[in-house]
A and B are shown apart, each in its own frame.
Chain A
């Protein structure tokens, strides 16, 4: 299994995301080939300010992937995922814009042509890695541990193809496959405030605490996320709360289920410590 890989700008500083993804790739034989010299996808900021630049930035990524022989690009961040998909959608129906952008790209000897398939790493782990491959490698360490899955906004929306837009279950199904017990709750896709949390901390704090309260009320003992920004907001947004709930990445949970050491998974980088769970013996 070999894919073009777009890590995105937040990947390195995200709490142990890179370590855990690397660890899983090694064990599961997944080859994520980083797109050389990738640039920022532009996120929602560029679509808000300057559409040509927004499209040009993503087009460069597609062109780089194309040059490396990839038409399938895997991302690990919801914002990158939806930004790339959205741009792909716009570009594939606007040949004039593409040729205008290709003029620019030619300065770097790059060329972008045709449609690209943009996928989330969760999609790869759930749909491309056979279920048996997981069950063969599972340890019983955290069996039946109650996990609340948090999908965030830009994974299922506005697409609706990978899963239901408001009540998705793919992550629940994935962690169930790993032996965890998914907790049914109503905060799966409600917004965490995203980057607005920087400027409007108080208001976004309310959104974050609504998610935390709901998970706690429904018996979730950890919240797992699939996006660096979601993870950061939920993890950092619990300051001063009694009994905060740890927010590991789904890849870190997968690593634990596969028996990988906590230190290899970067779990020490979480703001809300996860030690209590790890000390649980079964």
Chain B
């Protein structure tokens, strides 16, 4: 299968100071020149630069090269660059092979000699492999002009609005009964203290009414197939038991429901809701849902039907069943958000043991007009606190829980201190390790709250205990910390403790990640394509990230990323077409025995059985080139183009020799 006259060009990149001083580039060039079929070997400071690419193009034209090897960095970044250069010079882009002598050699090898030896091996392998490369061609496919957004918090809502405004159809899927996410629970937002509801509800209404947005609440994405530009998603609509078309949102059903003592998830279990409920007054859609586990009719098969009796619209429907919806979209934006760390296992902070220890989300609800205390900061006793402690870094910056900084806690804690001072006049003791306020107007806000008389103590709290130092403080809580700036151990008696818990990925976000084919990092956050230069895209084409599912961030950053994700998705769709994959499976009909083993292992349903010919056939549009069929095929008929046995074996042999 080799060309009659193979002419391989080999280019060794210095990558500035990244490869060259460690790897003896000249020695590698000399080595490469001696390899079979190598017509020319060169070195250059930056192969990815324009002059670097010109070097390749000129050699192809002038020396008649028909294969190209570049030894430089990881193919993740620059394989497309060099393939394009080859194509422009007139050879098939797949007549190119990259050897990674940076990540696989210079960066990870201490000894210069060893690094050079390894670089030589990798170059030899690439040269051996490229000889067996075959030309591959992709096709242009039309894209679906619609976008799926998964998760309806502020990130998902903003992505949906921005994408819908640019004229694309958007499906916004939210698993809860209403959109709004965490931001809907907040009272004020830092650093400008605008009311979260005031700035957010207009967006919720826009989402609900937008002609281009199909809002699917109380729904979950159960499967996603296809590829960039052509995804097929299956959405599960859980039964609300209330007809969305008939319901007027009057709320009588909730008043009449006799089951009233269910802890409200929205109010962080600080108040109760009914079995038929709408999570909060501004919910979108207004249509309530019936909790099937608590409703007397649905859970216990008892007679009740109070909601049904009093509903003038006749919207209650106990017979509703789960529904599945199949949609086709060109792009997907994942915005599954976060959850707060459960501080129960940090027993030294007493959460769950002492009633006056609150999480930050609980405290948000205490501050909110629609919360359990109608926005008054009150203890369980009904009295306002006289002294409040706020503890930073609960679960964050702690290798036993979450090693990272959760980014938002410092600022929301400072906001809490301000709210406590403003609403109750109580003394506030704020315990921090470092104040992190890198945002527009953030440091100014910190400074302002300092001036409001809040005690900022630099020291992580060791313990919250109900053992007082003085008898008169019996019944209060004592916060134990070291003021590290004065080296004074502090034992501060307080009435209320707020734990500034960190952020972690939302429950189920790993499932969504698997569904859309995006990997997660060690902490469970979804991984972007490139930390700096592609923070919104993912390695899977057509899948974009918005908001906290990618890592902790505040509202301004979330909104910015949401708009960016919408922009990325829109620019993909506006082009109108995408190229199909070239590195896909091929089943040789002459070898195929028709056993259909491959059909069972294919995760993308990309193989059909042609009963007429008695062979399996690959659907080139659906195939992702994962190689499962090729590994499973007992007769060796299935192979993945560009990863044929011959190509891989030649590569390995060159390394081992």
CB-defined contacts of A187 to chain B, threshold 8 Å: 467
Q: Say if the beta carbon of B466 comes within 8 Å of chain A.
A: yes
Q: Say if the beta carbon of A198 comes within 8 Å of chain B.
A: no
CB-defined contacts of B597 to chain A, threshold 8 Å: none
- 8 Å CB contact of B466 from A164, A166, A186, A190: A186
1/0 contact string of A209-221 vs chain B (CB within 8 Å): 0100110010000
CB-defined contacts of A190 to chain B, threshold 8 Å: 467
Q: Say if the beta carbon of A167 comes within 8 Å of chain B.
A: yes
Classify the interface of chain A: helix, strand, loop or mixed.
loop
Q: Tally B residues with Cβ within 8 Å of A.
A: 7
B494–chain A nearest beta-carbon distance, Å: 15
A167 and B347: CB pair below 8 A?
yes
In the bound complex, what is the Cα–Cα distance between A190 and B480 (angstroms)? 13
Which residue of chain B lies nearest to A217 when distances are taken between CB atoms in the complex?
B474
CB-defined contacts of B465 to chain A, threshold 8 Å: 186
CB-defined contacts of A167 to chain B, threshold 8 Å: 347, 353
Q: Say if the beta carbon of B248 comes within 8 Å of chain A.
A: no
A166 and B348: CB pair below 8 A?
yes
CB-defined contacts of A213 to chain B, threshold 8 Å: 467
B369–chain A nearest beta-carbon distance, Å: 36
A209–chain B nearest beta-carbon distance, Å: 11
Which residue of chain A lies nearest to B348 when distances are taken between CB atoms in the complex?
A166
B606–chain A nearest beta-carbon distance, Å: 50
In the bound complex, what is the Cα–Cα distance between A214 and B467 (angstroms)? 6
- 8 Å CB contact of B467 from A164, A166, A210: A210
A210–chain B nearest beta-carbon distance, Å: 6
In the bound complex, what is the Cα–Cα distance between A237 and B474 (angstroms)? 22
- 8 Å CB contact of B347 from A166, A210, A214, A217: A166
Give the tally of cross-chain contacts (CB within 8 A).
14
CB-defined contacts of B347 to chain A, threshold 8 Å: 164, 166-167
B364–chain A nearest beta-carbon distance, Å: 28
In the bound complex, what is the Cα–Cα distance between A32 and B474 (angstroms)? 45
CB-defined contacts of B474 to chain A, threshold 8 Å: 217
In the bound complex, what is the Cα–Cα distance between A214 and B465 (angstroms)? 11
Interface residues of B in 463-522 (CB under 8 A from A): 465-467, 474
CB-defined contacts of A186 to chain B, threshold 8 Å: 465-467
In the bound complex, what is the Cα–Cα distance between A186 and B357 (angstroms)? 15
B468–chain A nearest beta-carbon distance, Å: 9
In the bound complex, what is the Cα–Cα distance between A217 and B475 (angstroms)? 10
In the bound complex, what is the Cα–Cα distance between A140 and B587 (angstroms)? 80
Q: Tally A residues with Cβ within 8 Å of B.
A: 10
1/0 contact string of B346-380 vs chain A (CB within 8 Å): 01100001000000000000000000000000000
Interface residues of A in 189-242 (CB under 8 A from B): 190, 210, 213-214, 217
Which residue of chain A lies nearest to B354 when distances are taken between CB atoms in the complex?
A186
In the bound complex, what is the Cα–Cα distance between A42 and B465 (angstroms)? 33
CB-defined contacts of A164 to chain B, threshold 8 Å: 347
A191–chain B nearest beta-carbon distance, Å: 12
A2–chain B nearest beta-carbon distance, Å: 36
Which residue of chain B lies nearest to A167 when distances are taken between CB atoms in the complex?
B347
CB-defined contacts of B467 to chain A, threshold 8 Å: 186-187, 190, 210, 213-214
In the bound complex, what is the Cα–Cα distance between A167 and B348 (angstroms)? 9
Which residue of chain A lies nearest to B350 when distances are taken between CB atoms in the complex?
A186
Which residue of chain B lies nearest to A187 when distances are taken between CB atoms in the complex?
B467
CB-defined contacts of B466 to chain A, threshold 8 Å: 186
In the bound complex, what is the Cα–Cα distance between A164 and B344 (angstroms)? 13
In the bound complex, what is the Cα–Cα distance between A187 and B478 (angstroms)? 13
In the bound complex, what is the Cα–Cα distance between A190 and B462 (angstroms)? 13
1/0 contact string of B261-302 vs chain A (CB within 8 Å): 000000000000000000000000000000000000000000
B356–chain A nearest beta-carbon distance, Å: 14
In the bound complex, what is the Cα–Cα distance between A164 and B353 (angstroms)? 15
CB-defined contacts of A166 to chain B, threshold 8 Å: 347-348
A164–chain B nearest beta-carbon distance, Å: 7
In the bound complex, what is the Cα–Cα distance between A214 and B474 (angstroms)? 10
1/0 contact string of B93-135 vs chain A (CB within 8 Å): 0000000000000000000000000000000000000000000
In the bound complex, what is the Cα–Cα distance between A190 and B491 (angstroms)? 15
Which one of B353, B466, B467 has the highest number of Cβ atoms from chain A below 10 Å of its Cβ? B467
1/0 contact string of B236-274 vs chain A (CB within 8 Å): 000000000000000000000000000000000000000
Interface residues of B in 597-614 (CB under 8 A from A): none
Which residue of chain A lies nearest to B469 when distances are taken between CB atoms in the complex?
A210
In the bound complex, what is the Cα–Cα distance between A187 and B347 (angstroms)? 13
In the bound complex, what is the Cα–Cα distance between A145 and B414 (angstroms)? 47
CB-defined contacts of A210 to chain B, threshold 8 Å: 467
B401–chain A nearest beta-carbon distance, Å: 15
In the bound complex, what is the Cα–Cα distance between A187 and B467 (angstroms)? 8
B191–chain A nearest beta-carbon distance, Å: 36
In the bound complex, what is the Cα–Cα distance between A263 and B165 (angstroms)? 88
1/0 contact string of B572-587 vs chain A (CB within 8 Å): 0000000000000000
CB-defined contacts of B353 to chain A, threshold 8 Å: 167
Which residue of chain A lies nearest to B464 when distances are taken between CB atoms in the complex?
A186
In the bound complex, what is the Cα–Cα distance between A187 and B466 (angstroms)? 10
Which residue of chain B lies nearest to A164 when distances are taken between CB atoms in the complex?
B347
Which residue of chain B lies nearest to A214 when distances are taken between CB atoms in the complex?
B467
CB-defined contacts of A217 to chain B, threshold 8 Å: 474
In the bound complex, what is the Cα–Cα distance between A166 and B353 (angstroms)? 13
In the bound complex, what is the Cα–Cα distance between A166 and B350 (angstroms)? 11
In the bound complex, what is the Cα–Cα distance between A166 and B347 (angstroms)? 7
Which residue of chain B lies nearest to A211 when distances are taken between CB atoms in the complex?
B467
In the bound complex, what is the Cα–Cα distance between A167 and B465 (angstroms)? 12
In the bound complex, what is the Cα–Cα distance between A186 and B474 (angstroms)? 13
B267–chain A nearest beta-carbon distance, Å: 28
Which residue of chain A lies nearest to B463 when distances are taken between CB atoms in the complex?
A166
Which residue of chain B lies nearest to A165 when distances are taken between CB atoms in the complex?
B347
A182–chain B nearest beta-carbon distance, Å: 15
In the bound complex, what is the Cα–Cα distance between A265 and B283 (angstroms)? 68
Which residue of chain B lies nearest to A190 when distances are taken between CB atoms in the complex?
B467
B337–chain A nearest beta-carbon distance, Å: 32
In the bound complex, what is the Cα–Cα distance between A164 and B465 (angstroms)? 17
CB-defined contacts of B348 to chain A, threshold 8 Å: 166
In the bound complex, what is the Cα–Cα distance between A187 and B474 (angstroms)? 15
B565–chain A nearest beta-carbon distance, Å: 43
In the bound complex, what is the Cα–Cα distance between A119 and B353 (angstroms)? 30
In the bound complex, what is the Cα–Cα distance between A261 and B466 (angstroms)? 38
1/0 contact string of A156-195 vs chain B (CB within 8 Å): 0000000010110000000000000000001100100000
In the bound complex, what is the Cα–Cα distance between A213 and B474 (angstroms)? 11
In the bound complex, what is the Cα–Cα distance between A210 and B347 (angstroms)? 20
In the bound complex, what is the Cα–Cα distance between A190 and B348 (angstroms)? 11
- 14 A-B Cβ contacts within 8 A? A164-B347, A166-B347, A166-B348, A167-B347, A167-B353, A186-B465, A186-B466, A186-B467, A187-B467, A190-B467, A210-B467, A213-B467, A214-B467, A217-B474
Given contacts A186-B466, A190-B467, 12 further A-B contacts (CB under 8 A): A164-B347, A166-B347, A166-B348, A167-B347, A167-B353, A186-B465, A186-B467, A187-B467, A210-B467, A213-B467, A214-B467, A217-B474
Hey, which bits of chain B sit against chain A, CB under 8 A?
A: 347-348, 353, 465-467, 474
List the 8 closest pairs (A to B, CB-CB), nearest first: A214-B467, A167-B347, A166-B347, A186-B467, A186-B465, A186-B466, A166-B348, A210-B467
